[in-house]
Amino acid sequence: MDDAGRFIAGLPKAELHIHIEGSLELRFGSIEALRAAYRFANLQDFLDLYYEGMRVLLHEQDFHDLAMAYFRKAAAQNVRHAEIFFDPQGHTGRGVGFKTVIDGLSRAQADAERQFGVTSALILCFLRHLDEADAERTLDAALPWRDRFIGVGLDSSEKGHPPSKFERVFARARGLGLHAVAHAGEEGPAEYVREALDLLKVERIDHGNRALDDAELILRLAREQVPLTVCPLSNLRLCVVPDLEDHPLRRMLRAGLVATINSDDPAYFGGYINENLAALSLGREEMMTVARNGFRAAFLDDATKERHLKVLDAYGLSGA
């Protein structure tokens, strides 16, 4: 491992954009078969395989084991806190009950905190290719477990499914005291980022790359310090950026945006959080900024954030 690799490995991190179903390591007959299956032309191309992969998740234990495998990797990469997306409609639509999903994930969260000291929280994502009534029913089905998740998100096929489609269900979720985030500006236009802010009233934007197409929006994101959860290897693999040399994250940092680095779907895109951090060849100061942004943008109370930030700053000063 080189110097930068060692620095990244030891850096205390928060991960804020990880789909637990995207950490599912599928088995292929050969490495060539795997490589061929994981060559994606766009977001939909990936999602087709992602939803197919989920079909192996049937029992409470499957969801537990899936999450534990992620927590083990995350802990080994010095992730101290993770806010994890899950897609209940990907399971309830196949006849797997919400209770099965949430019980398995919650049990893994408790085990991970005890075994690895990694804290975590769950964010329930609505699938945007389905209609709002389906999202409303999903929120209804989740309410008996309201205390098990901290927020709602919006994911799946972005183009043609603007945030405006989900204005009512997000308003209801916020009324229940849930946090709100949404994928926006991954493949879709800057206008979807604006809609997510104005109509869904989200507190963070997942991805947000395309916001850079809009000078006024950049100024707003900087002024309001809206965190962006950026996923470099995902962007490369889904062909939403041409290459990593010119990845938008550097421009985001220069514009004063609260950009964070995350893995999205690590099993599919060739890396967990450390590989994503390493992929951009950032300097140490930039890496410290990104790591600080992760804790700042987390849905943690101020005292807990301060505790994490102190540990992080001590690490930065030690020059490890």
Binding site for ligand ADE (CB under 6 A): 19, 22, 43, 50, 155-156, 183, 186, 234, 264-265
The partner in contact with residue 22, picked from ligand ADE, Zn ion, none with C-beta cut-offs of 5 to 8 angstroms by kind, is: ligand ADE
**Do the Cβ atoms of 122 and 148 come closer than 8 Å?**
yes
Least distance in angstroms from the C-beta of 156 to ligand ADE: 5
Alpha-carbon distance of 276 to 287, in angstroms, equals: 11
For Zn ion, which stretch binds (CB under 5 A), given 97-105, 158-166, 264-272, 305-313? Answer: 264-272
Residue from 15, 187, 191, 264 touching Zn ion (CB under 5 A): that is: 264
CA angle 54, 243, 224 (to 5 degrees): 80
Q: Is 186 a catalytic residue?
A: yes
Alpha-carbon distance of 33 to 116, in angstroms, equals: 34
Of the pair 60, 87, the CB lying nearest Zn ion is at 87
**Do the Cβ atoms of 195 and 161 come closer than 8 Å?**
no
**Do the Cβ atoms of 259 and 252 come closer than 8 Å?**
yes
For residue 65, the 8-state DSSP code is H
Least distance in angstroms from the C-beta of 197 to ligand ADE: 18
Burial of 93 (0-12, 13-18, 19+ CB in 10 A): middle
The partner in contact with residue 271, picked from Zn ion, ligand ADE, none with C-beta cut-offs of 5 to 8 angstroms by kind, is: none
Catalytic residue among 21, 83, 186, 191: 186
Least distance in angstroms from the C-beta of 238 to ligand ADE: 7
Residues that bind Zn ion (CB under 5 A): 264
Residues annotated catalytic, as ranges: 186
